[in-house]
Amino acid sequence: MSFQPPKGTDDLLAPKSQTWREVLSLWDEWSARYGFPLVMTPILESTELFQRGVGETTEVVTKQMYTFDDRGGRSVTLRPEGTAGVVRAYLNSGHQGVWKGAYSGPFFRYERPQGGRRRQFWQVGVEYLDVESPAADAEVVELGYRYLESAEIPGLELLINSLGDSECRPGYTDVLRGYLGGKKAELSEDSVDLIDVNPLRVLDSKTDQSVLVDPPRMVDHLCDACSGHFLSVKALLESLGVPFTEDHGLVRGLDYYTRTTFEYIGRRLDTAQNAVGGGGRYDGLAETLGGRPTPGVGFALGVDRIALAVDEADRTYLDAYLVSETGPEEALWVASRLRRDGVKVDFDSEGRTVKAQFRAARRVDAAITLVWKGKGEPIDVQTNTGRWDVALEEVSDWLRGQT
């Protein structure tokens, strides 16, 4: 049989499909716990919905949409994301006031396929509409975090930022234009074209990151209302025990965001695509689509990446990976000692570089890396939460204390 699935799409059979089944049913459980009933919208929408909603100058709209004319001559697009469709459905439904919806389904973006980046991919997500309070942001952010935590995504991290609103964003984009204007000679042509129309998009350009050193930051230009909102969201997350890191460079790739934006990262995912999800507030989107003013907040998570992370985590069969700075023979001696103490440990016997040994540690998804620096030196124990010096004879006890 010579037919292959289209580039960037996958067949999913057992045992992988079993992981998906578990990940998706866990989502049904968590989204229901937070009071989000199911919402389903068409996979095909009018092209204009995304042009207006997601933004004419975003990469998603300019380069990644599957757009075609149907047999009636209408331009339609396979949905590249879910928020615009859900907000459209809410506005069409005639429902007034607070509304919650959770979704799960396939989405399409014409991207360069690689591990964790597909042309057909699956998202689960929520949208919470007609809500203004920081408590809504915190509830939504917490749901995504708790779900990913219960799916046991290794190295889960939450990044948050604020992108301001129609009060304070214009002042900031002026400052940003000034900064980018001074770098025109070094920026790619695509970025130079964006400076006037949408300078924020330059900040997430894939090719120009090395040029964008210390750009002006939105957080330094927030108006009082936005800054108060951001402070409240952070305080609420703290009170809920949801750990986060502020990332002032987090701008997201879609134009509708205002105020809170966030991303969930799987730090130990063995792929360049380690954002397992993202979202934020989009207080102006409903009006952009011609509806009444309806603030909202939501997120979407990439199930392809979640399933990858879960499968990788399942493969972890080691307590630790040993990296040796003094060659494989000493590593063999150290590993032997640790193994007799009951530690499941592996190392590279081929004398590869320290960098290659760290790569191997990531590949086997070892939660702990032990760096051997030589006899008489303590072992440098590295985890994703910190580093410790531990004497060789105490390593096995130390590891037992971790579990």
Q: Give the closest residue to 150 by CA, choosing from 261, 309, 296, 361.
A: 309
Q: Which residue of 19, 123, 369, 382 would you call a contact of ligand HAM, by CB under 6 A?
A: 123
How far apart CA 306 and CA 322 sit, in angstroms, is 27
| Extended beta strands in 70-169, E state | 75-78, 99-108, 120-129, 156-162
- 259, 160 in Cβ contact below 8 A? no
| Apex 290 CA angle, 286 and 291, nearest 5 | 50
Shortest Å, Cβ 45 to ligand HAM = 13
- 323, 354 in Cβ contact below 8 A? yes
- In the bound state, the residue with its beta carbon closest to ligand HAM is 302
Q: Decide whether 114 or 166 has the Cβ nearer to ligand HAM.
A: 114
How many C-alpha atoms does 359 have within 13 Å on its Cβ side?
Answer: 6
Shortest Å, Cβ 134 to ligand HAM = 16
Q: Decide whether 52 or 305 has the Cβ nearer to ligand HAM.
A: 305
Binding window for ligand HAM (CB under 6 A); candidates: 31-39, 120-128, 205-213, 232-240: 120-128
Contact pattern for ligand HAM over residues 167 through 206, marking x by CB under 6 A: ----------------------------------------
The residue with tokens 């879960």 is 310
Q: Which residue of 45, 59, 81, 283 would you call a contact of ligand HAM, by CB under 6 A?
A: 81
Q: Give the pairing type, strands 320-324 and 369-372.
A: parallel
88 binds ligand HAM (CB under 6 A): no
- Phi and psi of 237, rounded to 5°? -60, -40
Shortest Å, Cβ 81 to ligand HAM = 4
Contact pattern for ligand HAM over residues 228 through 267, marking x by CB under 6 A: -------------------------xx-------------
How far apart CA 400 and CA 392 sit, in angstroms, is 14
Which residues are 266's β-sheet partners?
156
Q: Which residue of 121, 172, 347, 372 would you call a contact of ligand HAM, by CB under 6 A?
A: 121
- In one-letter notation, the amino acid at residue 139 is E
3-state secondary structure of 20: helix
Which residues are 96's β-sheet partners?
none
Q: Which residue of 127, 255, 283, 319 would you call a contact of ligand HAM, by CB under 6 A?
A: 127
83 binds ligand HAM (CB under 6 A): yes
Contact pattern for ligand HAM over residues 265 through 284, marking x by CB under 6 A: ----------xxxxxx-x--
| Residue 400 in tokens | 């037992």
Binding window for ligand HAM (CB under 6 A); candidates: 198-206, 210-218, 298-306, 336-344: 298-306
**Number of neighbours of residue 21 by Cβ within 10 angstroms:** 13
Shortest Å, Cβ 284 to ligand HAM = 13
Q: Where does this chain bind ligand HAM (CB under 6 A)?
A: 81-83, 109, 111, 116-118, 121, 123, 125, 127, 253-254, 275-280, 282, 298-300, 302, 304-305
